[in-house]
């Protein structure tokens, strides 16, 4: 009886032991994920709204136990702070993060290059490129002779060097962690090198080239990824794909965070408020101006704004307004144009070129304001120089006809449909035409025609 009980107990334990063994083998060999593949698209500069879109979807992929998340990337670069937030999330998230530079003709430049380097798997479509990660836009360096540059660096030079060294070390550390080409990562920062997809694979900058998303899922199937203290084995071939595009709110915030858009909104807002103040009761300019100013201030809240630039732009508006009230012969307009251009250049204090107002926006706006106010000044001067056409002063130079004339050089003349008392030379006769020289106390001073 006891023997039978012992045999029954062992039979019950064998399935449990087998199950434990299978679990142990799976944990040792890797966690096999069989969930959806999450795909998100980034086709804009890296900004706080774009950063939030990426990090929120990575968190969502973790919550949904997704197989992996793919970031389909096409960007000129962006803000350093947003880039670092994305990279931290990429490298620490307990889910495989794949960056795919796509479609053909896309690029992963500047901040995009480092985001690609930080991916668990980095892939590129044919005809794409990656690199040019040197921080720019801090300001010009040097400028003196070679000896002076060696002896003493300007503050701008020092800041440029600090930022470049920091970005270089950051790029190298990411490449080292992901087993990618550290030398190229440093050159991308220091020398702004950029390479096409085929060369990127050859130099171990990215892992592979994929023609399209299906090709990518086929090529990465079965790959093993170690991160966050875990091991993941991808099962992507034929796995369901879920596209998660930006929602309207994210798209709106991303658009507003574009420095060019923020800059234009501010100018439209200032113009609307100016027209409302100059023509009270117009209403529409004030409404549009108020909305644009509020949207511009929102954009400034997520962008690294230099308020000296904002002050210069506001000063330019004051100078333009003063030009309409004060005869400065165009000096106020010139000052306004200079203030507008300088304010536009330094509006955003950031080393990333993609977070600066484009010269393609600054120059047309500056030319428009210069042309508009120059034309306005010319019209004002022309009006001031023109002879009066109404009132007594407009009588000077007009023709008049003698109605009656006395021997003392006084009489009456007919001018502008009225009879006027007049004074002039002796000997004038009725019917004779004379010229009005001036008006004194409602008496016309006349002279004979020459």
Q: Where are the domains of the chain?
A: 12-249, 252-385, 392-448
Average pLDDT over residues 326-349: 81
Range name among 161-165, 194-198, 356-360 with the lowest pLDDT average? 356-360
The reply to whether 12-249 and 392-448 are identical in fold is no
Could you report the per-residue pLDDT of 72-100, keeping only the tens digit for each? 999 988 888 899 999 999 999 999 999 99
CB distance 325 to 376 below 8 Å: no
3-state secondary structure 211-227: CCHHHHHHHCCCCEEEE
- Give me the CATH topology for the region 392-448: OB fold (Dihydrolipoamide Acetyltransferase, E2P) (2.40.50)
- Give Rg (Cα) of the chain: 38
Provide the percentage of residues in the chain whose pLDDT is more than 70: 81
Buried b (16+ CB within 10 A) or exposed e, 405-433: beeeeebbbebeeeebebebeeebeeeee
Could you give the CA distance from residue 276 to residue 284 in angstroms, rounded to a whole number? 8
- Hey, what are 180's tokens? 């990618």
pLDDT tens digits, one per residue of 246-291: 888 888 888 887 888 888 998 888 888 877 877 777 788 889 988 9
How do strand 410-415 and strand 399-405 relate by DSSP bridges?
antiparallel
Tell which wins on pLDDT, 324 or 413: 413
Q: Give helix then strand counts, H and E, for the chain.
A: 15, 17
Cα angle, residue 171 at apex, residues 77 and 67 outer, rounded to 5°: 75
Q: With a threshold of 0.95, does the pTM exceed it?
A: no
Q: pLDDT of 16-54, one tens digit each?
A: 555 555 544 444 444 434 468 999 999 988 888 899 999
Positions of E strands within 102-178: 107-109, 121-124, 129-131
| pLDDT, mean over the chain | 81
- Tell me how far apart the alpha carbons of residues 402 and 420 are, in angstroms, rounded to a whole number: 10
Tokens of 215: 């090709």
The conformation of residue 444, written as its DSSP 8-state character, comes to E
Dump pLDDT digits (tens) for 201-232.
Answer: 999 999 999 999 999 999 999 999 988 788 99
Whether domain 12-249 has CATH 3.90.226.10: yes
Dist CA 339 CA 315 (whole Å): 7
Q: Is the dihedral of CA 130, 135, 137, 142 positive or negative?
A: negative
In which order are the strands placed within the sheet that holds 194-196?
107-109, 129-131, 194-196
pLDDT of amino acid 227: 86
Per-residue exposure over 93-105, b if at least 16 CB sit within 10 Å of its own CB, e if not: bebbbbbbbbbee
CA-based max dimension of the chain: 164
């Amino acid at each position: 009886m006891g023997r039978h009980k012992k045999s029954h107990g062992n039979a019950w334990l064998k399935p449990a032991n087998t199950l434990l063994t299978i679990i142990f083998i799976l944990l040792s060999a890797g966690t096999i994920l069989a969930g959806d593949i999450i795909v998100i698209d980034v086709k804009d500069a890296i900004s706080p709204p774009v950063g939030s879109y990426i990090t929120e979807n990575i968190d969502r992929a973790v919550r949904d136990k997704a197989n992996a998340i793919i970031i389909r990337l096409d960007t000129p670069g962006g803000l350093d702070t947003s880039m670092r937030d994305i990279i931290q999330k990429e490298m620490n998230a307990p889910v495989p993060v794949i960056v795919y530079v796509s479609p053909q003709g896309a690029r992963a430049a500047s901040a995009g290059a480092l985001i690609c380097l930080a991916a668990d798997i980095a892939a590129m479509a044919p005809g794409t490129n990656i690199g040019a990660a040197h921080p720019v836009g801090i300001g010009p360096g040097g400028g003196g002779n070679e000896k002076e540059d060696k002896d003493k660096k300007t503050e701008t030079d020092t800041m440029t060097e600090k930022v470049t060294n920091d970005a270089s070390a950051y790029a190298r550390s990411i490449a080292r962690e992901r087993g990618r080409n550290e030398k190229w990562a440093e050159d991308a920062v220091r020398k702004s090198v950029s390479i096409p997809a085929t060369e990127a694979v050859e130099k171990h900058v990215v892992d592979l080239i994929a023609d399209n998303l299906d090709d990518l899922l086929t090529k990465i199937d079965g790959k093993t990824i170690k991160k966050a203290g875990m091991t993941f084995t991808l099962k992507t071939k034929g796995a369901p794909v879920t596209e998660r595009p930006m929602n309207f709110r994210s798209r709106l915030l991303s658009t507003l965070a574009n420095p060019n858009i923020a800059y234009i909104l501010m100018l439209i807002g200032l113009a609307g408020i100016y027209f409302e103040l100059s023509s009270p009761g117009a209403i529409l300019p004030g409404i549009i101006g108020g909305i644009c100013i509020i949207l511009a201030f929102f954009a400034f809240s997520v962008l690294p704004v230099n308020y000296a630039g904002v002050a210069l732009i506001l000063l330019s508006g004051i100078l333009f307004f003063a030009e309409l009230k004060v005869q400065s012969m165009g000096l106020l307009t010139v000052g306004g144009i200079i203030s507008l251009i300088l304010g536009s250049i330094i509006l955003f204090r950031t080393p990333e070129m993609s977070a600066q107002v484009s010269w393609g926006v600054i120059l047309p706006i500056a030319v428009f304001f210069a042309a508009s106010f120059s034309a306005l000044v010319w019209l004002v001067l022309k009006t001031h120089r023109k002879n009066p056409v109404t009132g007594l002063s407009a009588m000077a130079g007009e023709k008049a006809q003698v109605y009656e004339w006395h021997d003392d050089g006084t009489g009456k003349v007919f001018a502008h449909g009225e009879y006027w008392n007049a004074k002039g030379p002796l000997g004038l006769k009725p019917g004779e035409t004379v010229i009005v020289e001036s008006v004194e106390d409602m008496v016309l001073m006349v002279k004979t025609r020459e």
